[in-house]
Structure 1
Amino acid sequence: MRSRRAMTALVATALVLVLAACTGLPTSGPVNVGREPTDAAEAPDFSFVPDRPQPGATAEQIVDGFVRAGSGPAGDWSRARLFLTDSFRNQWDPTASVTIDVQGDRRATENADDAVSLTLTSVANVDERGAYTLADSETTVLQFALVQEDGEWRISAAPDGVVLDQDFFTRVYRPYSLMFFDPTWQYLVPDVRWFPPTNTLATVLTAELLNGPSPWLSGAVASAFPDSVSLEPRSVPVISNVADVSFNTAALDLDASTLSRMQTQLDATLATATITAVEMTVGSTALPAEPQAVRSTSVSASPLVLTGDDFGFLTGAELDPISGLSDAMMQVVPAPVAAQVSPNRDFAAVRLAGEGVFRVDADGAVTALDTRPDLIDPTVDPFGYTWSVPRDAASTTVVFDEAGQPIPFPATWSGASQISAMSLSHDGARLAAVITTGGRSATWVAGVVRDAKGVPLGLSAETLLLGPAVGRGVALTWLDNTTVGILSSDGDRSVVSTQRVGGPVTSTDAPVSAVSIAGANQSTTVRLRGSDGALYIRRGSNWQQTASGIDVLATQQGQPQ
């Protein structure tokens, strides 16, 4: 590798840290005894404590109180059950679903002395498996029947599930990742689910892991757990942050490789619930298994940029070049306007203005891949394939192998009239895209179906709608394993949307000149490049310019192992 070189065309913007004054610690007053420490996995249920039913409450007030009590999962929603009749109390299933709505839009109507309907403005839903999806329709109507018990109104019939305001949902439910393998058994792929952090969380996560992935990931991921294996008993006790996962006797017949992969999936899944170790057993017999090594999907924390002088990782006011690839990139004429680098940094897929999509190898080879007009920025996967598609022909994605030859690949994004941006996840198992259908733009994600060698065969039959685009989609990137960042333009403003795959979206204004986006391992790390070559990073709610003279803000698909 060449020595580190000063970047002559880059002007680093000084960063000024301002330390805010802090109030002092109290130096007088009584000493109060704190609570005894507990393990995170053994902590009591997440404790929002809603109000009890009030004496003399009307039927509408009882329904309103019951709905609000959905925010308190402690004791299996014991507070909410106080609003129900004695006979209905144990029939209601709060875990069946979550309706996420706009609390200020709720409208209760008393249809008769013993019936109340509640009209909601629906935003999203969480099903019994914890999967988050956008609501199919904007309006939902829930029906409640009530009777008098001991002179007080109580609910005798109600829909299963709870209702939570969109601004309150993430304070009661939290995201957890079920971990599956990609078809080559090299990468772990997260499948995000939402559950309240109760004492039964380890059991819920383990049971859902054994149930398999979400439908949109079918064919794109693999699980080591055979159908013959089940939890026995159906509970996962956690002591001192160690989970005991006990299976039926079918697990005794599994080979060492399968057990190792099972251990890997369990370790990674339950780690999202702060469980530090997992012991697999059959009755009192421990199953010998060591977790399998998997490839990391992390990228360099430094931005990868192209300037008039070099290509490499920006550190302060200097660039660290990539051996071989940096030299090759500087020889490309005309200069690239977009680039994505493979995990091993042995090649980059680039788009040249007016020329098409090319593959640039670290040995200096430059191969023309796609010369169709109006191509969007290409994306590469960890198995050496490059994906390219024209903006106005979303269904005609072409996948090129390492030799630059197209491989058979079925039509993509059926019914879409346009695609603005796309990017593969770092594990290669998911493809996110901003597409337009019926004049409306939205961000979608699909599973990537591959064979055991990693050859792409197509996209999953089902796709997942992440959310409508804010204005016109400009660029898209994966910020971490579960989150994509979407840069869009809406009139005279630019917007960055941070979108969890299977979760809510957060949108913030961005510099108006922003034309490209990149991340670095965390959903909070977002970088933008302006049309004038300025490089921005988000710090809190503000965008701070950190450099100038940037011709291309490249994206990374991983780093060498």
Structure 2
Amino acid sequence: MSRRRGILSALLVIGALVLSACAGLPMSGPVNPGLSAGEDAGSPEFLFRPDEPQPGASPEQIVEGFIRAGSGPGPAANWEVARMFLAPSIRETWNPEASVTIDLPDDRESIPTSEGAVEVAIASVGSVDGTGAYQPDAGITQLSFRLAQQDDGEWRITEAPDGVVIDRDVFTNVFHRYSLSYFDPTYRFLVPDVRWFPTTNAATRITRALVNGSPSSWLADAVEDAFPESVTLARPSVPLESGVAQVSLTPEALAVEATTLDRMQAQLEASLASAGVSAVQMSVASTPLSAEATTTQSTRVTGPPLVQTDAGFGFLAGDELTPIPGLSDAMELVDPLAIQVSADRDVAAVRLVGGEVARVPAESPVAVVDSRSGLINPGVDPFGFIWSVPRDQPSALTAFSVSGQQSIVADAWPAASEVVAMAISRDGTRIAAVLITGGRSEVWVAGIVRGTEAVPVRLGEAVPLGPLTGSGTALAWLDDTSVGVLSSESGGPLFTEQLVGGPATTIGAPQGAASVAGATSISTVRLRTDDGALYVKRGANWQRTENGITILATQQGSPQ
């Protein structure tokens, strides 16, 4: 399936991060081509100028200044101020871009342990590795430093961990999120893999990570990469000429068949679009390659909310309920508690009042597919599989085909004692879930590994997206890169928007919030409350729009 290039790949990605902003040159090694005329170096970084070392500063003050300097001026100046705190012996070998630790600066604590040795405890909330992948982290991280007095009597750091520490409030000004694009196994959908890079030379960083790298480990077995292992970048930079990213590839690209080239073009265009690049030209030795991006299926949800009311099932706009041909009539035959509708609107996964999970198609009989006790709300994927699992048996995750054949999905949530809610991504490659692990609610995600005819075989590596405040109650994909989660605590309901591959934001939710669904680009979130009210999110506020809603359905896309 996907490619893994091991140590060489990691080194290439890290190498991409060490490019400087003004000329696109590495700090050491052979001279490489820099920015061409008209090339966009990316959005300017947040200009935070930390203090330089002060005369007579103690070892503790030198270490504290060094850590503060990690927030700027950053890669645009190769962390020049931070290097001033280092002794000449490590000034050039220290690698600031090996990793980023994101912390709460008010909770930093420096402790001198002996003469010339300082330990720093930081309250980390997340980290970014050398490939740009984000990992949540809630805990105390210990950093060790050694210092020595120089010939002028000033203390300088002689031993320091690679990487930088950046204040949580500054992080998103220095690093921005971008999405590398891969394919689902059927090549119908593009699947985003969120990474965090400095804005300096963003196009180069993204292209290097895509062409020379590989998908994130948790996603790798669930997606396909059109770039053959033999094809890499032929030059270290990706100049922009009249807004077109010039991607120079090694000669092996000349042997790639047309279909694969078109898929490579689609991945590049979608990946670089997240950096504002509008067009891409692949070439070999300055000779353009002829390619047209493969057409893929959108996963956007369009139209008004899809709901069940006393008047029936359909799209609600004001007082008018527009039924879905066939499916709305079929919904009259069941008594549902939860409904998820396929992108083509020809089938729904339904949890019934009696607790069973049923397949409700538009043009054939209703079929109860799962009657185990304690089932949570089910889901339907792009290939027609209904997904179902009992709350207290997370490892009993099962997918039911259109013909009724069931497949136990192996390796499902091994660390969880309960699964409260789950949702399949609209491209069918990922599953997110609210799990109880170690007695607390957390949001997790895993790739879906499929066999022949798209049959779900197992889940890939499961990774936490982050802890929840309170107890999780409901979850839905809002778009391709984020999920919305409802939780409850003593102070009332909360809504968390969790980026898959990034930090989360949490705000209060309307009283009685019970279910969540993704919406249009105008407002990506809809909530239903226990009293049947429908709310949409407007900025940081909730606007009540409808009443009398018995069920807020979730949609897996829109008809193409």
TM-score (norm 1): 0.89
- For 1:32-431, list aligned pairs within 5 A: 41-72=41-72, 73=74, 74-135=76-137, 137-148=139-150, 150-199=152-201, 201-210=202-211, 211-329=213-331, 331-333=332-334, 335-363=335-363, 365-431=365-431
Give the residue type in structure 2 aligned to 1:311: F
- Higher alpha-carbon deviation: 231-240 or 219-228: 231-240
SS in 1 for 2:169: coil
Q: Following the alignment from structure 2 to structure 1, what is the Cα–Cα distance between the partners of residues 500 and 151?
A: 45
SS in 2 for 1:53: coil
Give the residue type in structure 1 aligned to 2:267: Q
Q: Is 1:550 aligned to residue 554 of structure 2?
A: no
Give the residue type in structure 2 aligned to 1:231: L
Q: CA deviation at 1:124?
A: 1.5
Q: CA deviation at 1:85?
A: 2.6
- Higher alpha-carbon deviation: 421-430 or 135-144: 135-144
SS in 2 for 1:216: coil
Q: CA deviation at 1:114?
A: 2.5
Q: CA deviation at 1:408?
A: 4.7
Q: Following the alignment from structure 1 to structure 2, what is the Cα–Cα distance between the partners of residues 457 and 248?
A: 36
- Higher alpha-carbon deviation: 519-528 or 109-118: 519-528
Give the residue type in structure 1 aligned to 2:547: S
Q: Following the alignment from structure 1 to structure 2, what is the Cα–Cα distance between the partners of residues 275 and 550?
A: 42
Q: CA deviation at 1:111?
A: 3.0
Contact in 2 for aligned 1:433/1:445 (Cα 8 Å)? yes
Q: CA deviation at 1:139?
A: 3.3
Q: CA deviation at 1:301?
A: 4.1
Cα deviations by residue, 1:36-64 (Å, 9 ceiling, x for unpaired): xx875455555333232333333222222
The aligned residue for residue 443 of structure 1 is 443
Cα deviations by residue, 1:532-554 (Å, 9 ceiling, x for unpaired): 11111122222221111001000
Q: CA deviation at 1:403?
A: 2.2
The aligned residue for residue 15 of structure 1 is none
The aligned residue for residue 479 of structure 1 is 478
- Count, aligned residues: 520
CA RMSD of aligned residues (A): 1.9
Contact in 1 for aligned 2:40/2:240 (Cα 8 Å)? no
Contact in 2 for aligned 1:236/1:244 (Cα 8 Å)? yes
Cα deviations by residue, 1:376-416 (Å, 9 ceiling, x for unpaired): 10011111111001111111111011123313532511242
Give the residue type in structure 1 aligned to 2:397: T
The aligned residue for residue 512 of structure 1 is 511
Cα deviations by residue, 1:76-104 (Å, 9 ceiling, x for unpaired): 22222222233322111111001111111
Contact in 1 for aligned 2:122/2:142 (Cα 8 Å)? yes
The aligned residue for residue 13 of structure 1 is none
Contact in 2 for aligned 1:228/1:250 (Cα 8 Å)? yes
Q: Following the alignment from structure 1 to structure 2, what is the Cα–Cα distance between the partners of residues 468 and 44?
A: 33
Contact in 1 for aligned 2:422/2:475 (Cα 8 Å)? yes
Contact in 2 for aligned 1:484/1:501 (Cα 8 Å)? yes
The aligned residue for residue 433 of structure 1 is 433
Give the residue type in structure 1 aligned to 2:52: R
Give the residue type in structure 2 aligned to 1:247: L
> CA distance change for structure 1 residues 318 and 41 in 2, over 3 Å: closer, same or farther?
farther
Q: CA deviation at 1:469?
A: 2.5
Q: CA deviation at 1:522?
A: 4.8
The aligned residue for residue 456 of structure 1 is 456
Cα deviations by residue, 1:425-465 (Å, 9 ceiling, x for unpaired): 111100000111232221100000113642212111x1110
Q: Following the alignment from structure 1 to structure 2, what is the Cα–Cα distance between the partners of residues 403 and 374?
A: 24
SS in 2 for 1:264: helix
Cα deviations by residue, 1:104-156 (Å, 9 ceiling, x for unpaired): 11111223442222111222211111111123753323324243253433222
Identity %: 53
SS in 1 for 2:268: helix
Contact in 2 for aligned 1:220/1:429 (Cα 8 Å)? yes
The aligned residue for residue 32 of structure 1 is none
Tell me, which stretches of 5 or more residues in structure 2 are unaligned? 1-37
Contact in 2 for aligned 1:126/1:132 (Cα 8 Å)? yes
Cα deviations by residue, 1:132-182 (Å, 9 ceiling, x for unpaired): 112375332332424325343322221110101223222221111110000
> CA distance change for structure 1 residues 97 and 549 in 2, over 3 Å: closer, same or farther?
same
Give the residue type in structure 2 aligned to 1:387: W
Contact in 2 for aligned 1:368/1:404 (Cα 8 Å)? no
Q: Following the alignment from structure 2 to structure 1, what is the Cα–Cα distance between the partners of residues 520 and 463?
A: 22
Higher relative contact order (CA 8 A, sep 6+): 1
Contact in 1 for aligned 2:308/2:553 (Cα 8 Å)? yes
Give the residue type in structure 1 aligned to 2:141: T
Q: CA deviation at 1:364?
A: 5.0
